[in-house]
Amino acid sequence: MPIIITDEDVRQHLSMRECIDAMRVAFRDLAEDKAVSLPRLRYKIQAGVPDRSYFANVHVGAVPSLGVACVRAGSHMLVNSSSERGRRSKVNPEPFNWTVIILYDINTAEPLAFLHESQLSGMRVGATSGVAVAAVARDDAAVLGLLGTGRQARAHLEAISLVRPIRRVQVFSPNPEHLADFVERTRELARPDLEIVPVVDARTAIDGADIVCSNTNSLRPVVLGEWLVPGQMVITIGNTDAAGLKTEVDEAVFARASDVVVNHWASVIADNQVELLDAIEDGRVAREHVHELGDIVAGRATVRSRPDNIVYYKSNTGLAMQFAAAGAILYRKVKAAGSAHEIPREWLGSERYQIG
């Protein structure tokens, strides 16, 4: 019978290392034309109150090697902004995330599980960056420059530390309270030999780092190309929105990178990700130096950080196959634990309509 998988189930049953392994399978499947992960579908409509809009954000995809297909049904409310930049923020009248992830068995078409999204969403992004670091970063990378102190920063610190011998983390946030809280909580959970160092600005976090990882919601560049030195790998997870408002790196980062790695080229086109497209059009980035992560994982392309280059990994989109892959691991473990909330399968199926 189908089951419910909660955020607490994710915390209890899915380790970051398992999630990294699942992402590696998904991206390899994608490169080998086995997996399906279509660019996301979004729409927005005016709600019944003047300052609110309803926003849907839907992903679909499947990972055959793990036997699971996925529909992520994102459901949000937006605050309509009257500012000249038109920025909108998500808000819900109640403290709930109503997005649901549905897993299907690709061998029977039956639903396997309905997942909460909040915990898994941040984890799969960090795990995917872990896959990229494992494939691209220098083997001796020991210093991480971390910008931002939210959920994504914690996930990225955990994932990157699992795949590279990180010994020092230089972390910055413009909010002193957030920075102090992050450092305190992280020190309690980190390895005894991992040094967590709060710094005064973004440039200091980047200085001397082997890997630079930006996890902010800034609308302006927080990583400047002039600060970078050869040998560094740069990671960002923020993407240009539909109005072209958001960027975490300046033009010089693109110009100085020997290679740019993205999760999904089709989403660059479908979402009109002008940050990268403009860099290609004006010659700062050669199209042949833009690679999909899956091709690197599958050995179809080779991109490595060296002492004489800079590599930029732009985690340019989330993909349904990430949820499918991690969800497949979760489903098996939660079922084996015997504690899942089950849904009678007859509640979800109906008689097939016969033609003729």
Query: Can you list the domains of the chain with their CATH numbers?
Result: 3-120+319-347 (3.30.1780.10), 129-314 (3.40.50.720)
| 268 residue type, one letter | V
Predicted confidence at residue 238, as pLDDT, reads 74
Higher-pLDDT residue of 259, 91? 259
Confidence of residue 246 (pLDDT cuts 50, 70, 90): low
Q: What is the mean pLDDT of residues 244-250?
A: 76
pLDDT of residue 331: 97
Asked if residue 145 lies in contact with residue 206, where contact means CB atoms within 8 angstroms, the answer is yes
- Residue 84 DSSP SS3: coil
Which candidate, 322, 218, 338, places its Cα nearest to that of 267?
Answer: 322
Q: What is the pLDDT of residues 63-104, one digit of tens each?
A: 999 999 999 999 999 887 654 443 445 555 566 889 999 999
- Report d(CA 139, CA 128) in Å as an integer: 18
- What's the average model confidence in pLDDT over 133-141? 98
Within 13 Å, how many C-alpha atoms sit on residue 331's CB side? 26
Cβ atoms 276, 242 nearer than 8 A: no
Residue-level pLDDT at 339 = 80
Q: What is the mean pLDDT of the chain?
A: 92
Which three-class secondary structure state does DSSP give residue 335?
A: helix
pLDDT digits 0-9 by tens, 171-228: 999 999 999 999 999 887 777 889 999 999 999 999 999 999 999 988 789 999 999 9
- Average pLDDT (144-166) is 96
pLDDT of 128 strictly over 70: yes
Sort strands 36-37 and 52-63 into parallel, antiparallel or unpaired. antiparallel
- Kindly give the pairing relationship between strand 143-147 and strand 211-214: parallel
pLDDT in tens, 279-331: 999 999 999 999 999 999 999 999 999 999 999 999 999 999 999 999 999 99
> How many other C-beta atoms are found inside a 10 Å radius of the C-beta of residue 94?
6
Q: Among 216, 250, 210, 205, which residue's Cα sits nearest to residue 231?
A: 210
- What pLDDT, on the 0 to 100 scale, is given for residue 84? 40
Q: What is the percent of the chain where pLDDT is above 70? A: 92
Query: Average pLDDT, stretch 128-142?
Result: 98
Cβ-based neighbours of 232, under 8 Å, separated by 6 or more: 206, 209, 210, 211, 212, 305, 310, 311
Contact 247, 220 (CB under 8 A): yes
Partners of residue 291 on adjacent β-strands: 261
Q: How many other C-beta atoms can be found within 10 angstroms of the C-beta atom of residue 16?
A: 17
Instruction: Report the 10 Å Cβ neighbour count for 128.
Output: 29
